Structure 1
Amino acid sequence: MRRATLGTTTAAAVAALLTLAGCSGDDDTGRGAAPSTSTVTADSRVIQPGRPGETADVVEPGEDLEIVEGGHSETDVRFVEQMIPHHRQAVTMAELAADRAQDERVLLVADRVMAAQGPEIAVLENWLTERDLPVPAESADHDHGLPGMITPLQLEQLGNTSGAEFDELFLTYMSQHHAGAIDMAAAELNSGSNTLVLELAGDVSVEQGIEIDRMREILDSL
């Protein structure tokens, strides 16, 4: 009988997923959940990619296929519940740019942050809700104890600037913010287990790394 896992992952997370296959990542805090399995008979040919250097596994019609679904660890839960306020603050910072930024490139960075992280917040909140886990309250938005998050005073300072001063401060703070998110994603990729959460962590690591490089280039040219 062959085994498959439902869901897809980004290229950035594939290597981590393969390395972590079979690991729960749970640290015994009671919020993890084992995956469920079911067996189906393939009605068409199914090709399962192999590990690096290995050939793909082909399941022919009529063969049994074991489907592994769900399951998550404490590491997954912690990443999701911390990334929600982290993303919320990034969106709050980005929203300030509309009537304060001077450089068009800064406006484009802010637009990308809102376009990417706004929808991700909904995905993260739904992930918790589907597992009957509490969604962080809006009051947690400025928990600057999380990696990279700015303090309420720094956010107020950002909101009180405009023009070239805003551009420089925004790029500096957002680069710091992104770097913190990458650190959080690395912890998830190292010991998480849920496919969707690993995929999101891979997206954060790759996309925000690219944005940090872009913001540094803009800063150097201001």
Structure 2
Amino acid sequence: MTTLAATHASSAEVKALAAKIRKEQEPEITTMSGWLMAWGEPVPSPGAMHHDSGDMGGMPGMLTDTELRQLGAATGPAFDKLFLTLMIKHHEGAVETATTAQSQGSAVKQLAGSIVTSQTAEIAEMKALLDKLP
């Protein structure tokens, strides 16, 4: 999603926010992928974390293939609105998952706390940007 913003978004603010989100989430993804490898679990490939059934093991906030296709086809202000709307959904799911995970072990708890803090702030920023769009 964040990669698309560089070429599809019309708002400089949306482009900057997408770059910030991408930069912040890369180390989180690396950490969680490392945990999965250490636990002998499969590590999903990038882009594999969405599913048209919305099932994905009950992971809230995961986008469907249809939503991702719609985002990829959108440009300009329509992209900006859809990006912010879908990213809010995605972040709210991450906050929900991370809040639940905070009751787990210390490393998971620390990362979960970081996700709750950063993504809650980004949700507020995205909602404010969404409200400013025509």
Superposition TM-score, scaled by structure 1 size: 0.55
Return the match for 2:35 from 114, 127, 133: 127
Q: Which has the higher strand share?
A: 1
Q: How does 1:86-165 map to 2 (within 5 A)?
A: 93-131=1-39, 133-138=40-45, 140-143=48-51, 144-145=54-55, 146-165=59-78
Q: Percent identity?
A: 38
- Cα distance between partner residues in 2 of 1:171 and 1:218: 8
SS across alignment from 2:49? helix
Number of positions where the alignment pairs a residue of Structure 1 with one of Structure 2? 127
- Cα distance between partner residues in 2 of 1:137 and 1:207: 23
Q: Which runs of 5 or more structure 2 residues have no equivalent in the other structure?
A: none
Q: Which runs of 5 or more structure 1 residues have no equivalent in the other structure?
A: 1-92
Return the match for 1:203 from 109, 114, 117: 114
- Cα distance between partner residues in 2 of 1:107 and 1:137: 26
- Cα distance between partner residues in 1 of 2:109 and 2:100: 10
Residue 129 of structure 1: CA displacement? Answer: 2.1
- Cα distance between partner residues in 1 of 2:28 and 2:64: 22
1:217 aligns with 2:128: yes
Superposition TM-score, scaled by structure 2 size: 0.88
The structure having more radius of gyration, on CA atoms, is: 1
RMSD: 1.4
Letter in 1 for 2:43: P
Moved beyond 6 Å, runs of 4+:
none
